[in-house]
Structure 1
């Protein structure tokens, strides 16, 4: 199937049309055409070998192959195609000699967050006061409804259980962005962080690593942080209570709903498909489900640094699990694993007062459940 943007489909149709009109000429020109093609290939090969830039291009090519899958898969989901700006091409670490880079296998790649640049970063939010907890919410630029629902519910309070809590939204860019509206939204709420990667489902690993980069560079003194999806119910009170327990580690700590021995999906029809050339192992290391995981804020800088030597793939939570494994660390089960839940069959006020996370179906659900949970009276009979 041709790409309508490049016109390859039309070129294929033209080729078939030419062959059907002039079949008698095919044999006549076959031999001399082969000689001509061979001569052209040899000439181009010689020019390429002599080119001063050929070596660097050849060194970069193998890593680029792993990202062709993103381009091919973009037609499978309702998300913008994976596009790489020229300035984000694979480059070797500029601070290290090439021979050293090859020996240590350290390379920048498309998921390395410092290849990207912040368009909005709200650097001041962590300057005046040091937060105990930073809630980082990846969300599409156009999803204002989700952001507003969070601002009216679990992202509303800045002080929880006596601790400072910040809620910030991480955005990429898309063709549908209304740049002026986003600027006005940020001027009103001061809670948008936007980077210049393409905002799509296939780029969640990039989005997560940019979150880690922001935390490590703009809010390193915070005690803890949480990556939490925009379709989640979050009981922040219960989360802060958990983090303030005496036995909770202050460093190298990652917790949430743990996933053990999860197989890598090889079916090309699945949105979780990962080809072997991107991740050769049959199972992922232990990781925390991406709906919402909590970590001590010393980890983001470590994730960014170790990611230089980890080939990126598109399952962002498993990628963080891989970063932990490379660091010689492992996620920890929360004190009460039942507090990190995925889906609920029906709303129950008592149950929602005791959990930390739940996946919801809509922003309206979040508003309705939160309103009921916060009404006067004890939540449990």
Structure 2
């Protein structure tokens, strides 16, 4: 009878043989070399063009939206003096048509080229989207990206307009951003403010400048949470009802926005981008961001007036056009 030591020795040999046999059938034969090889850790070398600077400047707002209605060839054969970007909503067809027939008419001035572009997002109502698509096919003055069209996305709508100018109309001299309930005195805008016979400005931005701070009351339309904007004051910004800037600023603001935390208050957000760019907006009292009772002489002195209905727009335009000979 074998001793206990011999039995233990035989048991150990059998265990090792079994382990080796298991390893030989559970690993590819091409890599098995008769012992348990510990795989080397794969070291991923950083790409040469990755730097700390690149990491810091990754877009906060990459603006990955796509144009679903576009007019990319609108500036191919012309260099407009002024591009007018008008923020609107799907149901405001009457307002858009009133603008087309009055101050937004691209053929108002025989010697100055003006482009009118209406800005919209994507509506959750498929019927409204289809109606806007048909309107676009008729007038060719609508641009739409695939973000949801809402009050809180007004900033995206303006950025879309700036992107459009920078991409498809970079040689324009000036840009105006306004809303569909604004009446614009085009004579004052063109001849008194922008003055086509003078040298085009650069890094220029003007409108009704507001110096204010965030409203912390949650019931307010303009509520700004402290964790979104902790500062007690906003940088100077122009009322979103109407402001004008040199076309080079369109690309500057758009590129700056890619690295600036998004705010839903569109005009405040543009002011933040201007501060980063070191561009200070000029005050112009001709831009009115409130409702002003109509008077021919009063409206002759301004550039914009707020809260104008389509019916009022026609009446004011016709009055001012037919009574140019009257003195105030």
- What range describes the TM-score normalised by the shorter chain of this pair? 0.7 to 0.9
- TM-score, structure 1 normalization: 0.69
Among candidates 208, 220, 244, match of residue 257 of structure 1 = 208
Q: Secondary structure at the match of 1:124?
A: coil
Give unmatched runs, 5+ long, in structure 1: 1-95
Q: Secondary structure at the match of 1:302?
A: helix
Q: Retained in 2: the 8 A contact 1:160–1:237?
A: no
Among candidates 83, 106, 110, match of residue 58 of structure 2 = 106
Q: Distance in 2 between matches of 1:287 and 1:246?
A: 28
Superposed, which structure 2 residues align to 1:50-89 within 5 Å? none
Among candidates 197, 205, 229, match of residue 279 of structure 1 = 229
Superposed, which structure 2 residues align to 1:242-321 within 5 Å? 242-244=193-195, 250-260=201-211, 262-321=212-271
- 1:121 and 2:70 aligned: yes
Flag the structure with higher helix content.
1
CA shift, 1:98, in A, is 8.0
Q: Distance in 2 between matches of 1:129 and 1:373?
A: 29
- Alignment correspondent of 2:92: 143
Q: Retained in 2: the 8 A contact 1:101–1:107?
A: no
CA shift, 1:159, in A, is 4.7
Change (3 A) 1:161 1:352: farther
- 1:228 and 2:175 aligned: no
- TM-score, structure 2 normalization: 0.80
Q: Retained in 1: the 8 A contact 2:205–2:279?
A: no
Change (3 A) 1:122 1:245: closer
CA shift, 1:360, in A, is 2.4
Q: Retained in 1: the 8 A contact 2:290–2:306?
A: yes
- Alignment correspondent of 2:39: none
Among candidates 172, 186, 189, match of residue 136 of structure 2 = 186
Change (3 A) 1:176 1:379: farther
Q: Distance in 2 between matches of 1:194 and 1:316?
A: 17
Q: Which deviates further from its counterpart, 262-271 or 156-165?
A: 156-165
Among candidates 306, 310, 319, match of residue 363 of structure 1 = 310
CA shift, 1:343, in A, is 2.5
Give unmatched runs, 5+ long, in structure 2: 1-48
- 1:205 and 2:152 aligned: no
Change (3 A) 1:127 1:342: same
Q: Which has the larger radius of gyration?
A: 2
Report how many residues are paired: 278
Change (3 A) 1:338 1:302: closer
CA shift, 1:322, in A, is 0.7
Q: Retained in 2: the 8 A contact 1:225–1:296?
A: yes
CA shift, 1:350, in A, is 1.4
